[in-house]
């Protein structure tokens, strides 16, 4: 008989749980070790003492509070799980929203760019503010007022630009629509003196 | 004081989680068998769960108390056990008795706590310490923990002696003895609780009894 089998049979023998066949199987071992009978008797007495002093049940301190505290814990853990779950749901929604937002944001940027480009382009009608008959002044800035004054007697052309830093001669392109100068003004007039 | 506890207990009780109606009728929860209470719990009846807790908290607390020997920790761990029981109840399929399943959860909670405590105190837990193959039958597998003087006075010398001897067993041997001799579980149930084979249970019981007998004879 191997040790595992012997341990199993002896354990069940202690508990008086052997069948007749198993008891017969164990008999040689008991015959070889007569001290086992005394050990068994001692153990059964010890077990009774053990059961007498170690209770199977022992109410926790404050048993009513035990239940109410448990209920609160369960309720709180349920709530926190709901929060986590909703965060997970929200997180998934947020991620989906981000995916949807990406093309929308791209479209918005493109639109803003186009609008910016359009607004940056000179508004010819607005910038042709005040010109002598037959003359045009184009300004990239709508806030700048311009005026062309032709003085035949003195044979002079006076260009009045208000709202800008002082211009140099290079800032003006006079004649056939040639743009020059830092400010990019174009003055087209039928007569230049 | 008891009156105060009763009032305090009722004050903190709100609507039962998951079932505002308090479950289906059919008898006082306290008098129902476990299977019926479990069935009601699985339908979300918290009052049935409250009855289960009231019915089993004494056994769970005693089991934990005998394993960890600290009343405050035992109280907290018993709470943890029942929180886990509540959460796991929807998956309970009644293949085993409810009490056996509950002891299994208790076993896990206690061993998790011991592992955590071991890690916090000395570093990583060496699982070999819990391996039955490396525990000699005569080895002192658990540190001796003397009962407090007031306990010894109130519980008597015999109890202190037996408790002292139990504490000198390894956790696995101690648990096997408690489940068999104190809680009265069958070998198969002990195997289910401790997640091992019946042969292992037999071996643990064999060596635990010899060790306990040896310790008590010496003392």
How many distinct structural domains can be found in chain B? 2
Q: Is the pLDDT of residue B106 over 90?
A: yes
- Both B23 and B85 in one domain: the answer is yes
pLDDT < 70 stretches in chain A: 82-100, 117-142, 164-193
- Both A132 and A182 in one domain: the answer is yes
* Distance from the B33 Cα atom to the nearest Cα atom in chain A, whole angstroms: 18
More confident residue, B73 or B219: B73
Residues 6+ apart with CB under 8 A from B39: none
Question: B90 to chain A: which residues are within 8 Å by CB?
Answer: none
Among A12, A43, A49, A50, the strongest candidate for a mutation testing the B interface, having the largest count of B CBs within 10 A, is: A50
Q: What's the confidence (pLDDT) of residue A174?
A: 52
Distance CA B42, CA B49 (A): 9
Q: What's the confidence (pLDDT) of residue A83?
A: 67
* Distance from the B183 Cα atom to the nearest Cα atom in chain A, whole angstroms: 5
CATH code for the domain of B2: 1.10.1740.10
For residues B201 and B194, the answer to whether their CB atoms sit within 8 Å is: yes
Q: How far is CA B147 from CA B66, B153, B182, in A?
A: 12, 10, 19
- Both A166 and A179 in one domain: the answer is yes
Q: How confident is the model at residue B125 (pLDDT cuts 50, 70, 90)?
A: very low
SS (H, E, C) B173-196: HHHHHHHHHHCCCCHHHHHHHHCC
Q: CB distance A46–B78 less than 8 Å?
A: no
Nearest Cα residue in chain A from B10: A68
How many distinct structural domains can be found in chain A? 3
Residue A75 touches chain B, beta carbons under 8 Å: yes
Distance CA A69, CA B82 (A): 11
C-alpha atoms less than 13 angstroms from C-alpha of B2 in its C-beta half-sphere: 1
Among A33, A55, A60, the strongest candidate for a mutation testing the B interface, having the largest count of B CBs within 10 A, is: A60
- Both B55 and B2 in one domain: the answer is yes
Of the candidates B60, B94, B125, which is a domain's last residue?
Answer: B125
- Both B120 and B134 in one domain: the answer is no
CATH code for the domain of B168: 1.10.10.10
Interface pTM, i.e. ipTM: 0.71
Q: How far is CA A141 from CA A158, A167, A171, in A?
A: 20, 14, 14
Q: How confident is the model at residue B138 (pLDDT cuts 50, 70, 90)?
A: very low
**Token code pair at residue A163:** 């709202």
Question: Quick one: residue B133, left, alpha or beta (phi over 0 = left, psi -120 to 50 = alpha)?
Answer: alpha
* Residue range B31-52: mean pLDDT, rounded: 92
- Both A143 and A183 in one domain: the answer is yes
Of the candidates A71, A89, A121, which is a domain's last residue?
Answer: A121
Nearest Cα residue in chain A from B57: A59
Q: Is the pLDDT of residue B151 over 80?
A: no
Of the candidates B125, B145, B168, which is a domain's last residue?
Answer: B125
- Both B3 and B93 in one domain: the answer is yes
Give the range of the structural domain holding residue A45, as residue numbers without chain letter: 3-53
- Both B103 and B151 in one domain: the answer is no
- Both B121 and B137 in one domain: the answer is no
* Residue range B110-116: mean pLDDT, rounded: 94
Q: Report the candidate in A160, A163, A165 with the shortest Cα–Cα distance to residue A150.
A: A160
**Token code pair at residue B205:** 């019981």
Count of beta carbons in the 10 Å neighbourhood of residue B101: 22
Count of beta carbons in the 10 Å neighbourhood of residue A69: 16
- Both B202 and B118 in one domain: the answer is no
- Both A100 and A151 in one domain: the answer is no
Residue with tokens 């749901």: A89
- Both A113 and A158 in one domain: the answer is no
Question: A26 to chain B: which residues are within 8 Å by CB?
Answer: none
More confident residue, B212 or B142: B212
Of the candidates B110, B125, B140, which is a domain's last residue?
Answer: B125
Q: What's the confidence (pLDDT) of residue B187?
A: 96
Q: What's the confidence (pLDDT) of residue A131?
A: 53
- Both A139 and A173 in one domain: the answer is yes
For residues B49 and B66, the answer to whether their CB atoms sit within 8 Å is: no
Q: Lowest-pLDDT range, A148-152, B34-38, B171-175?
A: A148-152
More confident residue, B27 or B25: B27
**What are B43-100's pLDDT values in tens digits?**
989 999 999 999 999 999 999 999 998 999 999 999 999 999 999 999 998 888 999 9
- Both B159 and B119 in one domain: the answer is no
For residues B69 and B77, the answer to whether their CB atoms sit within 8 Å is: no
Q: Lowest-pLDDT range, A30-39, B137-146, B193-202?
A: B137-146
**Who among A47, A57, A67 is closest to B9 (CB)?**
A67
- Both A84 and A116 in one domain: the answer is yes
More confident residue, B120 or A52: A52
Supply the DSSP symbol for B123. S
Q: CB distance A72–B12 less than 8 Å?
A: yes
Cα dihedral: B184, B189, B194, B199 (round 10): 100
Give the range of the structural domain holding residue B48, as residue numbers without chain letter: 1-125
More confident residue, B8 or B36: B36
Q: How confident is the model at residue B119 (pLDDT cuts 50, 70, 90)?
A: confident
Q: What's the confidence (pLDDT) of residue B11?
A: 37
Q: CB distance B9–A70 less than 8 Å?
A: no
Q: What's the confidence (pLDDT) of residue B139?
A: 40
Residue B199 touches chain A, beta carbons under 8 Å: yes
* Residue range B140-152: mean pLDDT, rounded: 46
For residues B166 and B173, the answer to whether their CB atoms sit within 8 Å is: no
Q: What's the confidence (pLDDT) of residue B132?
A: 43
**What are A62-115's pLDDT values in tens digits?**
999 999 999 999 988 877 776 666 666 555 555 666 566 777 777 877 777 777
Residue B97 touches chain A, beta carbons under 8 Å: no
């Amino acid at each position: 008989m191997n040790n595992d089998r012997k341990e199993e049979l002896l354990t069940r023998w202690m508990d008086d749980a052997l069948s007749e066949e198993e008891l017969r199987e164990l008999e040689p071992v008991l015959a070889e070790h007569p001290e086992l009978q005394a050990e068994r008797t001692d153990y059964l007495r010890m077990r009774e003492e053990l059961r007498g002093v170690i209770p199977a049940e022992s109410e926790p301190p404050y048993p009513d509070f035990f239940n109410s505290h448990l209920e609160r814990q369960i309720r709180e853990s349920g709530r926190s799980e709901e929060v986590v779950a909703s965060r997970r749901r929200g997180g998934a929604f947020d991620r989906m929203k981000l995916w949807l937002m990406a093309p929308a944001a791209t479209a918005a940027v493109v639109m803003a760019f186009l609008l910016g480009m359009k607004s940056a382009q000179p508004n010819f009608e607005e910038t042709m503010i005040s010109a002598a008959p037959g003359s045009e002044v184009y300004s990239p800035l709508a806030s700048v007022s311009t005026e062309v004054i032709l003085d035949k007697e003195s044979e002079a052309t006076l260009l009045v630009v208000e709202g800008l830093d002082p211009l140099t001669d290079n800032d003006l392109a006079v004649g056939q629509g040639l743009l020059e100068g830092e400010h990019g003004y174009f003055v087209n007039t039928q007569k230049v003196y | 004081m008891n009156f105060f506890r009763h009032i305090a207990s009722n004050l903190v009780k709100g609507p039962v989680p998951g079932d505002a109606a308090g479950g289906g009728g059919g008898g006082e929860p306290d008098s129902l068998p476990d299977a019926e209470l479990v069935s009601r719990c699985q339908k979300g009846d918290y009052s049935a769960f409250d009855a289960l807790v009231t019915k089993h908290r004494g056994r769970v607390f005693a089991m934990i108390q005998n394993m960890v020997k600290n009343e405050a920790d035992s109280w907290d761990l018993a709470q943890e056990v029942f929180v886990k029981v509540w959460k796991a109840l929807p998956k309970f399929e009644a293949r085993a008795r409810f009490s056996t399943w509950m002891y299994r959860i208790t076993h896990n909670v206690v061993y998790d706590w011991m592992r955590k405590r071991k890690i916090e105190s000395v570093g990583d837990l060496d699982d070999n310490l819990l391996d039955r193959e490396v525990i000699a039958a005569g080895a002192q597998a658990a540190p001796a923990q003397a009962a407090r003087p007031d306990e010894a006075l109130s519980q008597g010398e015999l109890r202190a002696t037996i408790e002292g001897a139990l504490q000198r067993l390894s956790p696995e041997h101690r648990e096997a003895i408690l489940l068999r001799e104190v809680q009265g579980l069958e070998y198969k149930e002990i195997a289910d609780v401790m997640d091992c084979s019946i042969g292992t249970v037999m071996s643990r019981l064999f060596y635990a009894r010899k060790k306990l007998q040896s310790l008590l004879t010496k003392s």
